[in-house]
Structures are given as structure tokens and as C-alpha cells.
Structure 1
Amino acid sequence: MRPGRTGSVVPRGLAPIALVLPGFVLAALIILWPVLQLGQISVSEVNRFGQIRGFVGLENYAAVLADPDFLASLLRTGIWTVGIVGGAIVVGLPVAIILHQDFYGRGIARVIVMLPWAVSITMTAIVWRWAMNGESGMLNSGLRGLGVLDTNVTWLAQASTAFPMQILIGILVTVPFTVTILLGGLSSISDDLYEAARLEGASTWQSFRRITVPLMKPFLNIAVVLNTIYVFNSFPIIWATTQGGPANSTDILVTYLYKLGFQFGRLGEASALSLLMFALLLALLVLYVALISRGEADR
């Protein structure tokens, strides 16, 4: 093919496709091929060694959907995801606003806030498991020293306390990433807007509500989408602290999936659950993006 006016060997209309194609092929190899493999396993009878015995249709899907543990894990995953993502936003936004201000020691404060992000999530969960030990944990010792508790609490031995504490750990490890995104958004807002608002007599709350929140919406949306993907599939915290116990009462979908596949050897059902989780997460993200787009179009 002869070069065009621009000297390129690729026609102008095909240039965008040529630029995107390598990334698409790489994504297909990394994502689409495993999904296709899971699709094949999910409609087959598979022994615990991964050998396909025959075609069973949708029996694996039906078995998963009829399992009470699946429905309980699905509800718990919703609470887990909303609690951590929402908590990270609620905590992260004020922290980001404070760290955006110019004060002595701001650099050190930013480093301290980012430290949990630098530590392995599994190690963080293990440290908290030790801290929440019912007999010798630092959490009980500290709360007794402050007079909050009279006796030790077995935090991880009952779902009523274990699951809320796991959500709090999840918020702790999610806040640094959220703060990073929000700091980038705050840095993009011109100080001239706040100066103009002060000259017009606007209070700090009015400036926050009329300037900060509207201009931060794109960054808040990014934080919500990325954190939802991350938290929905988060495995280490639950597994390192309770392994889904006691009596599966803290299982979320990803730990329930692990048990199906690697503890019970039900690989066909585990593959079906993987695809159901993929479809559910994709549908939620598409719905969220559609609602955000519609809201921006209506303004």
C-alpha cells in the first residue's frame, strides 16, 4: 500500500483501529480466553482434579442459585461492597480536603495516610486478627484501659461483631487509594473559584457544596467504580481473619467461590459462580455509569 499524504502506510480511517488492536488482543488473551474456558467448565461435569467428564447444561448454575449459602453470600457481598466503598468515600473526602490544605507537616501527614496502602492487605488482616483476639488482643486491652469494656469481647467468634469489624478493616485499607484519587481532583480545582466565592460572602460550607462537590463528581465516580471492582472481589480480609466463619456467617461471594472450588472440589459450580459474579459486577457498573451519564445529560 502506498503512503498517503501524511506519509503513513495505514489509511486514516483504520489508524484508530490499528492503535487499539494490540491492546484489544492482549485483553482478549488475558480476560476473554479464561472466560471462555470457565464457560466450558461451567456447563460440564468436572471432578476435583479438573477432568471434564461430560456435558450437563445449566445444572451447575441451577445448583449454585438453589444453594442457600449462595443467597446469603450474595446479600453479604452487597453489604460488604456498599459499606466499604461508601465508608471510604465518607472518610476519604474530608481527609483529602485536610491534606490538600497548606500546613506544617503536610508531607508527613500524607505519608502516614498512605502507609496502609503500602502494606500487604493480607498482612494487615493478620495483624488485625491478632489485635482482635478475644483473650490477649490489643483491641480488648485498649478498650478496657479506656473504660469502654468491662470484659473481653470475642470479636471474630460471632458474626454480629466479626463482619462489621471486617468492613472497618476494609475501609481502612481502601481509604489511602480513595484519598489519592480525591487529592488529584482537589488539585485540579482553581483557587480563584474559592477566592471569588469568599469575596461574594460565601461560607466554607457553601463553597464546599457549590464548588467542591460539583467539580469533584468525576473523581468521586472514578473512586466509586474502581473501589467497587476492587472490593467486590476482595478476598484476603475475610479469609485471613475468619475464613468465612463462624459457620459461613461472614462468607462473601469470593470466599464462597474459593470453598466451592478448592475445599469442596465442585469445580463446575465454582466456574458457574465465577461467571455469575462477572456478569453481576459488569451489570452493576454499566447501570451505575448509565445513571451517572443520564444525570449529567439532564443538567
Structure 2
Amino acid sequence: MVPVLFILPGLILSAFIIIYPVWELIQTSLRKVTRFGKVTKLNDFANFEAVFSDTLFQEAAIRSVWWTLLVVGGTLICAAGIALILNEKFHGRAIARVIIMLPWSVSLSLLTVVWRWALNGETGYLNHLLEQLGIIDGPVVWLASGSTAFTVMILIGIIVSIPFTTTIFLGGLSSLPGDLYEAARMEGASHWHCFKTITVPMMQPYVNIAIVLNVIYVFNSFPIIWILTEGGPANSTDILVTYLYKIAFKYGKLGEASVVSLLMFVFLLAFAALYLRLVSKDAANA
């Protein structure tokens, strides 16, 4: 009972910080809101109807799912490989770890500005490098086409997400007991067998943390897409968070923006709850 009393103020504050904004979102989503932010009468779910009937919302929602799946999946694969390498003992390992983690200390907006400069079709460093290597014959306007721009954004999203995920995996790998590997090798187990039967099962909690946190961060990621294209050309790279920004601050549709915000919150909450439940069920069955 005593520990509960100690954490009760923190729980109350956390509940207020979370519950109050969600309640306000619900209230705003059900009412007509003027362009100047004045909340008026109930509008019989007109905001929901407007959002769900908007083809731009539908496209942004589908694009958000692909964006999240591809960036998170690519990040997990790359970060796992890098973490396994950095967990081995070799000369310069400490420096290599610092180099991998260094981009994490830089603002994502700043990194995206640098990438925008590098992707410039006329003076960008990427075109210059690829021409020097003989990979392309002339400048490529990377952000002029929706499909090309979105692919580039996914690659950038993976690159900027690797340091954080690698840190999680390295923390997990460093906590694994070495005597298990020694015992397995004494029994004649190969490196692959040790990885499959020891590393993968014991790293599962860290993988779960990485998946949940990366899905939340990537799904809500705003700077990469906004700084590079602002959702263009012709809204072809919009995801839900940039679509939300446009309808709220560019078009002044605050009621519809509240609906989108509420839907994003519900989606992420449902994903986290469902995923953690499935993970807990698998652990219990094991």
C-alpha cells in the first residue's frame, strides 16, 4: 500500500496529461469549429463523415501504414546486423559505436535539411557522387516524382532510426550471460546454432521494445516528409501526420483535424495493446 501512495501523485498527473487532451479531442471532433478556433454546437458526426469521405485521407492512411511497416522493418533488420557486429570484440569498437550513435544526438530536422540539400537535382551532393561513380549519366531530380520521393524518404527514415534501435539491441546483447554461449560451444554448437537458440529467444523483450517504440515514433514522424516535400508533389507523399497538419493549419479545419488526431491515437493505442497482449500470450505458452 505504501509504494502505491508514493506513486499516486505521478499516476494522477500522468492521467491528467493523457486523459484531458483526449477528452478535448473527442469534444472538438463532435462539434463545428470555426477557422478562428471557436467551438460551437454539435454537428452530428459531420467531421467524421468529411474525413472518411476524403480521398486524400484514405490515401494518406494507406501510405502511413506502408511508411511505418517499411521503415520499422528496414530499421530492425539493419540495426540487428549492426548491433551484432558492434557486440563483437575488435580494435576500434568503441570508436565505431560512437560513430553509429552520433547521428542520434543531432536534431532530426537538421538531418533532414542536410538530406534535402544532398538530394537537390542541380547542386546536390548525391547526384555528384553517383555521377563520379558512373552510376548515373546526368542529374536526377529525386523529389519531383511521388514514387521516387517516397522511396527516398523511406530510406532516410531507416537511416535516421538505426542509431536508436541499435542502442536498444546493444543493451540487450551486452546483458546476455556469456556462460550460456561457452556451454553451448563446449557441446559443439555452431555460431548459427547459438544465435538461433540463445540470442534470438533472449533478445525477444528488446525486440518488442524496439518494435513498439519505433512504430510510435515512425507513424508520427513529421520532419522528414514535411521538410523534403511538404507532402508533395500533389499530396503524393502525405502521411496522416502531414495531412493532419495541412487541414488544421493550412485549411483551418480544426474539427476534422481533431478527428484525424483521435484516429491516430486510437490506432497506436490499439496496436500497442494488441501487440503486447500477443507477446505476453506467446511468453505464457512458452
Pair 1:218-2:210 in alignment:
no
- TM-score of the two chains, using structure 1 as the length reference: 0.93
Select 1:101's aligned residue among 70, 81, 88: 88
Matched, 1:146 2:138: no
Structure 1 residue 206: Cα displacement = 1.3
- Measured after TM superposition, the shift of residue 266 of structure 1 is 0.2
Counterpart selection for 2:221 from 229, 234, 239: 234
Q: Counterpart amino acid of 1:104? A: H
Structure 1 residues 153-207: Cα deviation after superposition (integer angstroms, max 9, x where no partner): 1111111111111111111111111011111110111111111122122111111
Alpha-carbon distance in structure 2 between the residues aligned to 1:206 and 1:148: 40
2: CA distance between counterparts of 1:17 and 1:118?
36
- Within 2, Cα distance between the matches of 1:285 and 1:278? 11
Amino acid at match of 2:136: L
Among residues 111, 117, 125, which one is paired with 2:98 in the alignment?
Answer: 111
Alignment partner, residue 284 of structure 1: 271
Unpaired runs of at least 5, structure 2: none
Q: What is the letter of the counterpart of residue 145 of structure 2?
A: Q
Who is 1:192 aligned against? 179
For residues 80 and 114 of structure 2, the distance between their equivalents in structure 1, rounded to whole angstroms, comes to 26
Q: Tell me the secondary structure at the aligned position of residue 53 of structure 1.
A: strand
Gaps of 5+ in 1: 1-13
2:68 pairs with one of 74, 81, 84: 81
RMSD: 1.1
Distance 1:199 1:28 in 2: 52
Instruction: Give me the whole-angstrom Cα distance separating, in 1, the residues matched to 2:116 and 2:220.
Output: 20
Determine the structure 1 residue equivalent to 2:192. Answer: 205
* Distance across 1 between alignment mates of 2:184 and 2:227: 49
User: Of residues 159, 164, 177 in structure 1, which corresponds to 2:146?
Assistant: 159
Correspondence for 2:170 among 167, 171, 183:
183
In the alignment, what sits opposite 1:259? 246
Match of 1:173 in 2: 160
Quick one: distance in 2 between partners of 1:231 and 1:139? 24
In 1, distance between residues paired with 2:99 and 2:265?
A: 35
- Native 8 Å contact 1:116 1:172 kept in 2: no
Measure the CA separation in 2 of the matches of 1:251 and 1:121: 18
Aligned residues: 286
2:111 is the alignment partner of 1:121: no
- Residue identity over aligned pairs, in percent, reads 55
- How far is 1:285 from its partner? 1.3
Q: How far is 1:16 from its partner?
A: 4.1
Of 20, 23, 44 in structure 2, the residue corresponding to residue 57 of structure 1 is 44
